[in-house]
Amino acid sequence: MLVPLSWLKEYIDFELSVDELVDQLNLSGTAVESVRFMGKGLDYVRIGQLLEVEPHPDADKLSVTKVDIGQAEPLQIVCGAKNIKPGDKVPVALVGATLPNGIEIKAAKLRGVTSRGMLCSQIELRLGTDAAGIYILPEDVEVGALFTEALGLDDVVVDLEITPNRPDCLAMIGVAREVRAITGNELRKPAVSVKEGTGKAEDAATIVIDDLELCPRYAARIIKGVKVGPSPAWMEQRLQKAGMRPINNIVDITNLVMLETGQPLHAFDLKTLKEGKIIVRRAKPGEKITTLDGVERELDRNMLVIADSDVPVALAGVMGGAETEVTDATVDILLESAYFEPDSIMRTARKMGLLSEASARFEKGVDPNGAVYAADRAAQLIAEYAGGEVLAGVIDVYPEKIEPRTLQLRTDRVNGILGTTLSLPEITDILEKLELKVSVIDGTDNMSVSVPTFRPDLEREIDLIEEVARIFGYNNIESTLPESSGKQGGLSHRQKTVESIKARLLASGLSEIITYSLIDPREVDKLQVPEGDPLRWFVKLMNPLSEELSVLRTTLLVNLLKVLKYNVNREQYDVQVFEVGHIFWHENGKEMPDEEAMLGIALTGAWQADEWHEKARNIDFFDLKGAVEAVLDEIGVTGWSLRQFAHPVLHPGKSAELLIGDEPIGYFGELHPDVLAAFDMPTAYVGELNMDKLIDNAIVSRELIEIPKHPAITLDIAVLVADTVAQEKLIELIEAEGKPLLEQAKLFDLYTGKGVPDGKKSMAYTMVFRASERTLTDEETLDARDRIIARLNKELGAEIRM
């Protein structure tokens, strides 16, 4: 809502500076979006009158003009616009001007003709959107005058963000009322007195409301014998400053009064209404109307229309029809001032994609009891500026008056919600400044508050409390903290576990990423996922922005790979990342999509680039496995195992499924070469684990394992085994046979090559032996070692290698 302060001051005086006013409005709930000082950049623009307009001798599209700017000699200015003729008054930017759009005006030769200035369009002066031609000014402006003074542009316009609950503030008077609540100054509503003629309005037109639910009130004034023409300069300026385009005096007055009172008005050319009839009804199936914007629109039963005896002539509250529009030939007018049911207007406007100034107000709720005031105000202005005779009486169909609402307000409730200690008179004073009528209920601190119909937002006691709060000032309310024993801050076991997993991965060198929960289903094709696979049980958006973000992710892999790729494309080859996020899927027949938290890991490149002390090493399967082991270790998962995992996404020989007990938790491995090719990646290691299942198996608290008191004996062995033997087999046998003295066994060397026969590998283990209650002897330790060697030999054919 654009509010020129010069206009606002018609209704209220205030001594606040612009900054103070902006502050006070902001702090009382009327947000100021921007402030515009209109005259800025227009100091060198004067009013000129065209004396001559001649074609340029060497350029078809240019004209050479002589312009009187009130000085002895007219200026010669070359101009490209076509809409000018001798006699027109136009804004002239003089040499030396810097216009609001940054253009500097200099004397110049255009195709050999000297030009000393520029004739300006509205857009060049930042006054409107009309860039089509030179801004032709009203005839009554004074030649040579400063443009800003002549057009009253020495003004400040504030742009207010009006929240949807405050339709009353979509009007100058409404904004003035807010200023009144801030300053306590008196509000001046324009007094209206309509000079009525002898003819009766009732005889000139009839009004029938067919659907009282959608149109509780329809009032009209009839004005006969008007002369349609341009509005006076002051009126055009006012409308322009408020962001509206002047059309003609009749339309301008309806707009002016709408901006003033908040009541949208519509003027029909009375002669085009068949039988002089207005019928407010729902559209019939198949009916059509061509609206003022020239678009033919199909109507339906849910839309309210204004019809004459025959066809719809306006889309009620949204836009008028082209057929009944006021034109230069119009003589008699029917001026509509109605109250339409807000929701119906909103639905129609949305359905038609037509958001007009009128619909914006009707859909939020105008004052049903302000209709006649606005009609009278407009009729009076029309008589004054367009001539004609206002017929006697207002045709006002309003069978069921909408009465002001009465609400109860308790002083202790106000203070209980706000934490204030306001007295009853203080509360009353605030409400009365907002034009609410307050009566104290005898013998109590409670009030009965009558809410005027221009405030449809005040429906409950809490709404009144908000009014008290915002006018008292939020920042005048004392700050406190809740005093409660009910506060026990902290993280749940689940949340702590997630945090510790993240912390461990970060410490292991992986960075966290966050990606969209939405993916492109075509990316899942790239993963070579077969038809019917759960990764294709997509949850689809009904209204996606694009195919790229059209389904919810069924796996974290897609985005992990995209992030690797994004970085590799930018020469960031070493990328190690994880993401904790949700995946979603739609199981057939189930109404709600399923949603589960997952941990995704993706690694490529090397952990670190070449260093002076160490060369870079490319990440492989065991780096990925190490990251997974670190997670399991961090949250104390025991009893986990791996098994071969067959999925087209992964390399069959370098992938594994993780189980805890018998339950699959997730998988990890190197990407299948086909998938790598599809994503155009050299290599990548990925994993995806179910977060909830990990958390279910996480240890809640750890108990101390006693620190050994007796010394250990450490022995190493190296054995040769067939290279098909899994390491896990060896360690299982070593541990089984070494019990109970063997505390720990660990592979420390794996070797094939020179000295080792083909088809064999050398595995070296370091073994720590200890007895918890005594010092071990060498004999029993060596004995245990020999038993282990014998067992390995017996079961795996392992040969000891010394």
| Binding residues among 244-303 for other proteins as defined by CB under 8 A | none
Are 382 and 335 in contact, with CB atoms under 8 Å apart?
A: yes
Q: How far is CA 689 from CA 594, 599, 631, in A?
A: 16, 5, 10
Are the CB atoms for 772 and 732 separated by under 8 Å? no
Retrieve residue 542's tokens.
């009904």
Among 4, 29, 312, 365, binds other proteins (CB under 8 A): 29
- For tokens 């007895």, the residue is 771
Q: Is 165 in the site for other proteins (CB under 8 A)?
A: yes
Instruction: Name, in order, each residue with C-beta under 8 angstroms of 41's C-beta and a sequence gap of 6 or more.
Output: 97, 98, 99, 100, 126
Binding status of residue 495 toward other proteins by CB under 8 A:
yes
C-beta closer to other proteins: residue 462 or 750: 462
Angle, CA of 292, 297 and 300, to the nearest 5° = 125
Binding segment (CB under 8 A) for other proteins, from list 22-30, 280-288, 310-318, 700-708: 22-30
Helix/strand/coil for 307: strand
Q: Helix H segments across 89-171?
A: 147-150
Shortest distance in whole angstroms from residue 415 CB to other proteins: 8
Stretch that binds other proteins, among 147-155, 391-399, 592-600, 724-732 (CB under 8 A): 592-600
Residue closer to other proteins by CB (options 516, 640) is 516
Among residues 130, 293, 300, 512, which is the contact residue for other proteins, using CB under 8 A? 512
CB 658 within 8 A of CB 639: no
The nearest distance, CB 616 to other proteins, in angstroms, is: 11
Q: Is 638 in the site for other proteins (CB under 8 A)?
A: no
- 486 lies in the binding site for other proteins (CB under 8 A): yes
- Based on CB atoms, which residue is closest to other proteins, 483 or 662? 483
Which of 73, 412 has the CB closer to other proteins?
412
Tell me which residues in 334-393 interact with other proteins (CB under 8 A).
Answer: 343, 346-347, 350
- Binding residue for other proteins (CB under 8 A) from 399, 489, 653, 755? 489
Site string for other proteins, 461-480 (x = CB under 8 A): -xx-xx--xx---xx-xxxx
Q: Is 76 exposed, middle or buried (0-12, 13-18, 19+ CB in 10 A)?
A: middle
Closer Cβ to other proteins, 607 or 621, answer by number = 607
CB of 777 to other proteins, least distance (A): 40
Closest CB to other proteins among residues 630, 756 = 630
| Amino acid at position 583, single letter | I
Pull the structure tokens for residue 451: 């809410």
Q: Does 131 bind other proteins (CB under 8 A)?
A: no
Q: Does 491 bind other proteins (CB under 8 A)?
A: yes
Coil, helix or strand at residue 723: coil
Stretch that binds other proteins, among 204-212, 246-254, 398-406, 545-553 (CB under 8 A): 545-553
> What's the angle, vertex CA 170, arms to CA 126 and CA 418, rounded to 5?
120
CA distance 523 to 516: 14
Which runs of consecutive H residues, i.e. helices, occur in 242-390?
249-261, 342-352, 357-362, 371-386
Angle separating helix axes 424-433 and 411-418, nearest 10 degrees: 90
Contact 501, 635 (CB under 8 A): yes
CA distances in angstroms from 639 to 327, 601, 697, 730, 732, listed in the order given: 87, 22, 10, 18, 14
Instruction: Give 193 or 488: the residue with its C-beta nearer to other proteins.
Output: 488
Query: Which residue among 59, 212, 322, 549 contacts other proteins (CB under 8 A)?
Result: 549
Helix, strand, or coil here: 562?
A: helix
Report the distance separating Cα 479 and Cα 474, nearest Å: 10
Tell me which stretch binds other proteins (CB under 8 A): 145-153, 378-386, 589-597, 712-720.
589-597
Entry field: residues in the chain: 802
582 binds other proteins (CB under 8 A): yes
Footprint on residues 389-418 left by other proteins (CB under 8 A): 416-418
Q: Which one, 133 or 509, has the nearer CB to other proteins?
A: 509
| Contact between 490 and other proteins per CB under 8 A | yes
Q: Please state the closest distance from residue 88 (CB atom) to other proteins, in A.
A: 41
Residue 513 interacting with other proteins (CB under 8 A) = yes
Binding piece for other proteins, criterion CB under 8 A, among 21-29, 62-70, 92-100, 388-396: 21-29
Nearer to other proteins, 570 or 739 (CB): 570
Give the interface size with other proteins as a residue count (CB under 8 A): 91
Minimal distance in Å, beta carbon 608 to other proteins? 5
Binding residue for other proteins, selected from 14, 44, 584, 621, defined by CB under 8 A: 584
Binding to other proteins by CB under 8 A, coded x per residue (else -) over 421-460, reads ---------------------------------------x
User: CB within 8 A of 663, min separation 6: which ones?
Assistant: 693
User: CA nearest 308: which of 201, 202, 210, 203?
Assistant: 210
Q: Write down the least CB distance from residue 719 to other proteins, Å.
A: 32
| Torsion (CA) 14, 18, 24, 27 in degrees, nearest 10 | 160
- Block residue for tokens 């949340």: 495
- As measured in angstroms, the least distance from the Cβ of 486 to other proteins is 3
User: 184, 294, 482, 653: which one contacts other proteins (CB under 8 A)?
Assistant: 482
Nearer to other proteins by Cβ, of 178 and 308: the residue is 178
Residue 177 beta carbon to other proteins: minimum distance, rounded to whole angstroms: 15
Task: Using the CB atoms, write b or e for 685-708: b if 16+ within 10 Å.
Answer: bbbbbbbebbbebbeeeeeeeeee
Residue 770 binds other proteins (CB under 8 A): no
Binds other proteins (CB under 8 A): choice among 15, 531, 611, 773: 611
The string of DSSP letters for 668-702 reads: EEEEPHHHHHHHT-S--EEEEEEHHHHHHTS-SSP
CB atoms within 10 A of CB 683: 16
For other proteins, the closer of residues 23 and 202 by Cβ is 23
Give, as ranges, the residues between 515 and 544 that touch other proteins (CB under 8 A): 515-518, 539-544
293 phi and psi angles, rounded to 5 deg: -80, 5
Please report whether residue 38 would count as binding other proteins according to CB under 8 A.
no
Confirm or reject binding of residue 163 to other proteins (CB under 8 A). Answer: yes
Q: Rg for the chain (alpha carbons), in Å?
A: 41
- The interface with other proteins within residues 65-84 (CB under 8 A) comprises none
Alpha carbon distances (Å) from 166 to 30, 170, 178, 457: 9, 8, 11, 7
- Residue 200 near residue 392, CB atoms below 8 Å: yes
Q: CB-wise, 578 or 668, nearer to other proteins?
A: 578
CA atoms within 13 A on the CB side of 501: 29
- Which one of residues 17, 193, 198, 488 is an interface residue with other proteins (CB under 8 A)? 488
Contact call for residue 732 and other proteins (CB under 8 A): no
Residue 267 or 316: which CB sits closer to other proteins? 316
Residue 545 sits in the site that holds other proteins (CB under 8 A):
yes
Task: Give helix 493-507 / helix 621-634 axis angle, nearest 10°.
Answer: 140
Least distance between other proteins and beta carbon 181 (Å): 12
* Smallest separation, CB 284 to other proteins (Å): 24
The residue range among 104-112, 286-294, 297-305, 576-584 that interacts with other proteins, by the rule CB under 8 A, is 576-584
- Quick one: 249 or 411, whose CB is closer to other proteins? 411
> Residue type for 533, please?
D
Sequence-ordered list of residues with C-beta below 8 angstroms from that of 203, at least 6 positions apart, any chain: 391
**Minimum distance from CB of 357 to other proteins (Å)?**
17
Can you tell me the distance from the alpha carbon of 401 to that of 339, in angstroms, rounded to the nearest whole number?
A: 11
Q: Could you tell me if residue 41 is left (phi over 0), alpha (psi between -120 and 50 degrees) or otherwise beta?
A: left
For the bound state, the minimum distance from the C-beta of residue 772 to other proteins, rounded and expressed in Å, comes to 34
